[in-house]
Structure 1
Amino acid sequence: MKKNEQIISAGIDIGTSTTKLILSRFTLVNTAGTTHVPRIEITEKEIIHKSSIYRTPLLNDTLIDMKAVLRLVEQEYQKAGVRPRDIKTGAIIITGETATKQNAEEMLHFLSEEAGEFLVATAGPDLEGIIAGKGSGACQRSKETGKTIANIDIGGGTANIAVYQAGKLRGTCTLHIGGRLIEFEHDRVKNVSAPVRELLKELRLSVEAGDKVSLDFIGLLQGQWRILVHILQQKITEEGEVLLLGHPPDWKVPIDQIMFSGGVSECIYGQEPISGSYTDIGIYLAKALQDNQDLQSWEWIPPVETVRATVLGAGTQTTHISGATIQVDPARLPLKNLPVHQLDMKRNLDDGSIKVKNAIQQAIQVYDPSLEGKNFALYLTGLPFLRFRDVQQLGNWLLEAYKLQPNQSNPIVIVLQDDLAKVLGQTLQTLKSGRDVICIDQILVEQGDYLDIGNKLQSEVVPVVIKTLAFHS
């Protein structure tokens, strides 16, 4: 590698209401020196282009207009003076209701072929919340202050909540609250989404197509924010169950501060207008949110980014070399785009079986919500000193928990903070689970990172590319 190398990364977010793009330039440097094993690290990050905020092009209620999205991307590339072949890494993220469109997966493949080399991920609601919590600055602020911060990312179709404490993810929850759930035409209601119709029944209110804004309409908004307050307090009411998308709130810590991101937060902070007039409930949601006295019981923290919180998840690449004592099945390499799920054992094996099982269940819930058999890498940290029988016990816990995965032909992929990969990997093989094992160590990753694990080298190590979701700071 040259002394310094620069690569361009793109982030594209195709959301329920809006589509936007970010281009970044990263400087890569070999920090190990000429006589050591190369260690490539990113030393500089510079955002070189932010697109306008566009309404997401749709052909109808169930189809994304793929060619129109590509035209927007090409137009922004031209403005920035880059070509698709200049893009070496990044992320295309389809979020909110758009991820449910019939051609969402086709859209990803189409765009990744036309627009550069990408980390391709369709964000489910939990992952979307995690990404937004990093992009808004909530994760970093919690790390700096030690506080517990809930980031509430409100887009067109959902409100994705991610709770961070001292830089660590503590839990997520998603609600059917978003700008496009009631749409307008001129000054009348055009469409009311199914979850909102259910909530209206619970509230004994009526908002129908053709209605003008009324006191019933205001009652609905107040009802939605009352549910949000209860969720932040980890309370589930009958009203709340109607708007819940997926699992209930799963953080176990009280929240100190709240932060808002997403398209509706633009209406709160007024930082950047979206082209065209408002044709949905978003601006009314923002006003009702600001007026809600119960939400004022938490300290409000301004975000670093609002509507661009998720798009700033353009992937960065930094190559690491694993430890030399590892256990891998060469026939299963290379592996690409494995999301990382962290399990911190907190320096003891107490309740280890429960800890391991809960971690695997949560990883499946976040990274394989539709049970399609998508794999992940389990990042084991905070292990105590392990004797031989402890390693065997840990191995048994892992194999039992991994039986929960829907696709049992996937390899078990474990990344360790400590120098234990060979002994744990060989233990897992000895226990004869019938599954291939990839166990590597001396790699520092974080929850939300993605891994590429390359082929084994002559020196018995493997190159590991960590694609960190990169955010403007």
Structure 2
Amino acid sequence: MKSSFSRVETLLSAGIDIGTSTTKLVISQFSLMNMAGDTHVPRIEITDKEILYRSPIYRTPLVSPTVIDLKAVDQIVKNEYAKAGIEPGQIKTGAVIITGETATKQNAAEMVHHLSDAAGEFLVATAGPDLEGIIAAKGSGAYEYAKKTGKVTANIDIGGGTANIAVYESSRLAGTCTLHIGGRLIEFEAGKVKSISSPVQKLINQEGWTLQTGDSSDHPDIQKVTSWMAELIVKVLRKQTSPRDQVLILGHEPQWDADIEVIVVSGGVSECMYQFEDPAASPAMYDDIGVILARSIQQAAGLQWYEWRRPDETVRATVLGAGTQTTNISGATIQVESSELPQKNLPVFEVSFEQDVAVGLRKLQGSTEAAVAMYDPGKEGQNFVWYLTDMPYLKFKDIQSIAGALLACQELKPDSSQPLIIVLQSDHAKVLGQTLQALKPAQSILCVDQIEVEHGDYMDIGQMLQSGVVPVVIKTLTFHS
């Protein structure tokens, strides 16, 4: 008898991280297996993730302070694929992420969409600060540690331009916060201050310090800046910030309720603390405040109250999280039109049925109008995903009613010929998809289940795999300014 746990297939994943200071790439291989018995509906899961190749760490190439060098990044990726012995067409999932201050560059969106086309049939995740923190927490091991121990764990990922904090209470994301704290916010050249970033300049002005470009790289105000940054991390972890601290807070205030017990520091500044990398293999050189900032954080009295856990990865936490932690696998009982795959950058609109079919049906038309107004205000045909949640037990008559309502809603969209894309919390994708197809054979249907998304997320759906499932990446498309 064939084992119900037999291996289904493997797929290759790429993670590409274009950060404020550094650019790096990782190639991983996922093993997929059917975890259900032979007599049960297949349940395909990722059972193993193996890192096949890690690139050296490159200084992120810029044409100017506000523009990424697209050709140079493209060449780095091509060279690293060649070294790994991988063709772009072999990559089936993964993520390209623009992190830190790089997401503010004029051509950040162009960079990501270009790489998603050039680097394989794979899926793009553009990290806004919240997603960046979440991905780094998974790559650093902080998420797994919180899940295993139940301790409230904060991952503090400090790169060149930002510090992204993600707090986990067991496996639940308790909150995030992003700060203008990073190694490249003051840069040196020939023993003098070469540049001071805008947020740090505002801090200097606010505090009445005198540091300016051209000053010596051992000017006493530099230590004041890094000590102030370390103290701000303490205040944020304790949720004790004041109006004066807003100068280095990017976006929203800390959101978690629980008291933090454990801290993990990842990112380039973490590498200054732990020296995981072989300097010969990663020749990117820095002449900035990274080392001074690392020392200030290690010496901050307020951080000594926490349990410190060494990260699994320092500067590579985000790229490893992107390459190994962003992919989900759909249920096997799905209905998809293979010719319509892959689908990229689909915003998610949630409709809760509140455990009542009649309630859900009443909501659908108004939700269509709201979704079009939100995601396609110019009536240009931007498609979106219906995410149907909180559904009661469904009879076949209910499935037919929902299918009819969805097809009627499709006609309200600016481009009714585009695929009708539905994600279900419950295990009804196959029967709903087949019912839709029977009612309107000419309509392209993509109906998947067993995927957890949230209203406002963006979603990419990859090519169908041999096992009849599709890889899915959930992401944000925030380019912060």
Residue from 447, 452, 455 that aligns with 2:461 = 452
Q: Secondary structure at the match of 2:224?
A: helix
Supply the RMSD in Å over aligned alpha carbons: 3.7
Moved more, 421-430 or 147-156: 421-430
Q: Secondary structure at the match of 2:318?
A: coil
**1:370-393 per-position Cα deviation (integer Å, ceiling 9, x unaligned):** xxxx6126598xx99x46788789
Q: Which residue of structure 2 aligns with residue 306 of structure 1?
A: 314
Q: Which residue of structure 1 aligns with residue 292 of structure 2?
A: 284
Asked if 1:320 is matched to 2:331, the reply is yes
**1:147-179 per-position Cα deviation (integer Å, ceiling 9, x unaligned):** 111111111110111111111111111111111
Q: How far did residue 399 of structure 1 move?
A: 9.1
Identity of aligned residues (%): 45
Moved more, 21-30 or 244-253: 21-30
Q: Which residue of structure 2 aligns with residue 73 of structure 1?
A: 77
Q: How far did residue 121 of structure 1 move?
A: 2.1
**1:406-442 per-position Cα deviation (integer Å, ceiling 9, x unaligned):** 6577656225487657679579879999778835223
Counterpart mapping for 1:44-443 below 5 A: 44-212=48-216, 213-272=218-277, 273=279, 274-312=282-320, 313-314=322-323, 315-316=326-327, 318-322=329-333, 336-337=343-344, 375-376=347-348, 378=350, 386=355, 405=374, 407=376, 411=384, 413-416=386-389, 438=422, 440=424, 441-442=426-427, 443=449
Q: 1:114 to 1:293 in 2, by over 3 A?
A: same
Q: How far did residue 20 of structure 1 move?
A: 0.6
Moved more, 52-61 or 32-41: 32-41
Q: 1:401 to 1:302 in 2, by over 3 A?
A: farther
Moved more, 81-90 or 154-163: 81-90
1:425·1:437 contact (CA, 8 Å) conserved in 2? no
Q: 1:446 to 1:391 in 2, by over 3 A?
A: closer
**1:294-336 per-position Cα deviation (integer Å, ceiling 9, x unaligned):** 1111111111111111111125463423579xxx9x9xx8783
Q: 1:375 to 1:265 in 2, by over 3 A?
A: same
Q: What is the rounded CA distance, in whole Å, between the counterparts of 1:122 and 1:211 in structure 2?
A: 37
1:378·1:414 contact (CA, 8 Å) conserved in 2? yes
Q: What is the rounded CA distance, in whole Å, between the counterparts of 2:110 and 2:407 in structure 1?
A: 41
Q: Secondary structure at the match of 1:98?
A: helix
Moved more, 430-439 or 130-139: 430-439
Q: What is the rounded CA distance, in whole Å, between the counterparts of 2:110 and 2:404 in structure 1?
A: 41
TM-score (norm 1): 0.76
Specify every segment of 5 or more residues in structure 1 that has no aligned partner in the other structure, as ranges.
339-373, 456-461
Q: What is the rounded CA distance, in whole Å, between the counterparts of 1:411 and 1:309 in structure 2?
A: 31
TM-score (norm 2): 0.75
**1:50-81 per-position Cα deviation (integer Å, ceiling 9, x unaligned):** 11111111111122112211222222222222
Q: What is the rounded CA distance, in whole Å, between the counterparts of 2:385 and 2:86 in structure 1?
A: 39
Q: Which residue of structure 2 aligns with residue 466 of structure 1?
A: 472
Q: Secondary structure at the match of 2:64?
A: coil
1:198·1:242 contact (CA, 8 Å) conserved in 2? yes
Q: 1:5 to 1:463 in 2, by over 3 A?
A: closer
Q: What is the rounded CA distance, in whole Å, between the counterparts of 2:236 and 2:373 in structure 1?
A: 28
Q: Read off the aligned partner of 1:318 and give its amino acid letter.
A: I
Q: Which residue of structure 1 aligns with residue 3 of structure 2?
A: none
Moved more, 148-157 or 224-233: 224-233
2:25·2:319 contact (CA, 8 Å) conserved in 1? yes
Q: How far did residue 223 of structure 1 move?
A: 1.1
Q: What is the rounded CA distance, in whole Å, between the counterparts of 1:45 and 1:143 in structure 2?
A: 18
Q: How far did residue 5 of structure 1 move?
A: 2.7
Residue from 15, 28, 44 that aligns with 2:19 = 15
Q: How far did residue 256 of structure 1 move?
A: 1.2
Question: How many pairs align?
Answer: 418
Q: How far did residue 111 of structure 1 move?
A: 2.0
Q: Secondary structure at the match of 1:161?
A: strand
